[in-house]
Amino acid sequence: MKNWILFICIFFCSYKVVANEPRINILKQIASLQSKDAKDFPDGAFPSFRRYHFSKTLKADYNLFYTALVIYNIERYKAILTQEELSILAQIKANANPYFELFKNKKNNLTYNFWPKYPAQVFPNGGWLNKFNEMNALPDDVDDCSLLMLALGNQDSLVNNMSKLFLSFTNTKVKKSNGYYKRYKNSPVYNTWLGNGYPIDIDISVLSNVLLLKYTYHQSLNKYDSASLDLIVDVLKRNKHINDPSYASVHYSNASTIIYHVARLMQYSNHSSLLQLKPLLLKQSYKLLDDSKSALERLILINSIMQMGGKVDENIAIKIINDKQLLIQNDYPYFNANMAAILNNPFKRILSATKIGKFYYYSDAFNLSLLFEQEMLRQKLVSSN
C-alpha cells in the first residue's frame, strides 16, 4: 500500500512539472528577448518594430507600449504562477523599471508617453523624421498610462491620481469630438490624449483599457466610465468593429484585436449590457477564426473566445502552440500608429483612406506573451473543472 501511495505522489509531482514545462519555457524565451546592451534598444525594453504602409522595411522602434503589454500579459496571472515563474516575472519587471522612466512626464511626475520624452522622440531610428522630434512629439496618453499601471501592479495611489487627471481631458470637458461618429459627439467619454491643442480622439479599444484599469484597481465608476461603457456597447451593437474597425478603433484597427480588448474587459466587468454581448462576439470570433490565415490573429481570437467562455477546437490551439515560428511572421499588426488619429473630420477619414502616415507595429515578445496567456487560460479552465 505504501508503495502505491509513493507511486501516486511521484506521478502527480512529475505531472505538475511536465504540465508547467511549456509555459515556463515560453516565459524563459520571453525573458531572453528583453534588451541588454543592444544597439537599437535601451536596456529593459522588449524589442518592437514598425513598418510604414508603403514599405516592407522593418525599423527598430522602442516604446513604452509593447514592453508594458508583455509584462501585463504575465502579471495578470500572477496569482496562479509558480515560484519559478514569479521569480522570472520579478526579474523582467526589475529590468524594465529604469526603461519606463524614459517615458515618464517629469513635469507632473504622473503620466507617461508612447515614446521617450527627454529628449522627445518621434519614430526612433526614423532618420529624417527625427529632425522634427520636439515639434511633432505627441502628448501623453491614457492608453499607455493604463497599460503601464496594469503591468506594474500595486500602484493604488498613483492610479487614483492618474484617474483624476484623465477626467481633465474627457470629451465635452472643454471641447467636443469632431473626429468620431457624430452619434457620440456629446458623450462624456475618455479622450486618448492628455494634452491641450489636440482634437478629441475616441477609440473603443483605448476606452476598454482605461476601464480595465478601473476595474482591476477596484475603483468606483463615475459618469465618464458609465458613458464609456455605453459607447463601447453601442458601437459593438451597431457592428462598427466589424464593418468600420479602423475608425471605431483608430489605434488598433482590426476587428479581431477590438474583440480581444472587449473580451479581456469582460473578465473584470459586471456591466450587464456589455456581458450580454458575449453571444454576438463569440459568433463573430468563430467566423473571423475560420477566415483568418494569420497565426497571430488566430491566437488572439482563441484567447478572446476562451476569455468569453467559448470552446475552441483543441487541434487548432495545439498547432499554434507547437509551432512558435508561425507567430513570428509579422503578418498581423496588433497596433498601428496613424497620423490621421490627431485630425478632425473630414480630414481624418480622407487621410486614413490613403494610408499615408500609417505605420504597423510588431513584437515577437508580445506574440509569445499571448501564447503564454493561452497556456494560463487553459490552466484556469482545467482548474475550474
Sketch the domain layout of the chain as residue ranges: 30-384
Check residue 138 and give its pLDDT: 84
Check residue 326 and give its pLDDT: 77
Check residue 385 and give its pLDDT: 60
- The average pLDDT across 107-130 equals 80
pLDDT in tens, 291-312: 998 999 999 999 999 999 999 8
CB 372 within 8 A of CB 23: yes
Check residue 127 and give its pLDDT: 59
Rg (CA), the chain: 21
pLDDT in tens, 167-179: 999 999 989 999 9
d(CA 109, CA 102): 12
The pLDDT confidence band at residue 373, using thresholds 50, 70 and 90, is very high
The secondary structure element, H or E, covering residue 361 is strand 358-362
d(CA 227, CA 208): 12
d(CA 238, CA 336): 23
CB 66 within 8 A of CB 365: yes
Lowest mean pLDDT among 162-166, 208-212, 341-345: 341-345
Lowest mean pLDDT among 19-28, 196-205, 272-281: 19-28
Question: pLDDT above 70 covers what percent of the chain?
Answer: 88
* Chain mean pLDDT for the chain: 89
- The average pLDDT across 139-154 equals 97
d(CA 115, CA 347): 25
Set of cell numbers at residue 209: 483599457
Check residue 6 and give its pLDDT: 37
Look-up of cell digits 474597425: 245
Burial of 144-183, coded b for 16+ CB within 10 Å and e otherwise, reads bbbbbbbbbeebeebbeebbeebeebbbbeeeebebbbee
Residue 182 reports pLDDT greater than 50:
yes
Lowest mean pLDDT among 3-12, 158-167, 330-339, 371-380: 3-12
- The average pLDDT across 29-45 equals 96
Full-prediction pTM beyond 0.85? yes
Question: pLDDT above 90 covers what percent of the chain?
Answer: 73
Check residue 1 and give its pLDDT: 43
The top-scoring range by mean pLDDT among 20-29, 179-188, 307-316 is 179-188
Into which CATH architecture does domain 30-384 fall?
Alpha/alpha barrel (1.50)
Lowest mean pLDDT among 5-9, 210-214, 220-224, 300-304: 5-9
Q: Which residues pair with 49 in a beta bridge?
A: 60, 362
Tell me the longest C-alpha to C-alpha distance in the chain.
79
Q: Which of 188, 195, 94, 213 is nearest to 136 (CA)?
A: 195
> Which long-range CB contacts under 8 A does 163-171 form with residues at least 24 apart?
163/213, 163/214, 163/219, 165/108, 165/110, 165/111, 165/194, 166/142, 166/190, 166/194, 166/210, 166/224, 167/222, 167/224, 169/142, 169/193, 169/194, 169/195, 170/224, 171/200, 171/202
Check residue 130 and give its pLDDT: 54
Lowest mean pLDDT among 32-41, 70-79, 112-121: 112-121
Residue 19 reports pLDDT greater than 70:
no
- The average pLDDT across 45-69 equals 95
Q: Cα torsion for 97, 102, 103, 104, to the nearest 10°?
A: 80
Check residue 161 and give its pLDDT: 97
The letter for the amino acid at 135 is: M
Check residue 378 and give its pLDDT: 87
- The average pLDDT across 230-253 equals 97
Q: Cα torsion for 372, 376, 381, 385, to the nearest 10°?
A: 130
Residue 221 reports pLDDT greater than 70:
yes
- CA distance readout (Å), 23 to 301, 303, 324: 19, 15, 12
Residue 362 reports pLDDT greater than 80:
yes
d(CA 245, CA 36): 37
Residue 14 reports pLDDT greater than 60:
no
Q: Which of 210, 109, 208 is nearest to 158 (CA)?
A: 109
The pLDDT confidence band at residue 129, using thresholds 50, 70 and 90, is low
CB 140 within 8 A of CB 105: yes
Residue 314 reports pLDDT greater than 90:
no
d(CA 197, CA 137): 13
Residue 131 reports pLDDT greater than 70:
no
Cis omega (within 30 of 0) for bond into 346: yes
Check residue 128 and give its pLDDT: 52
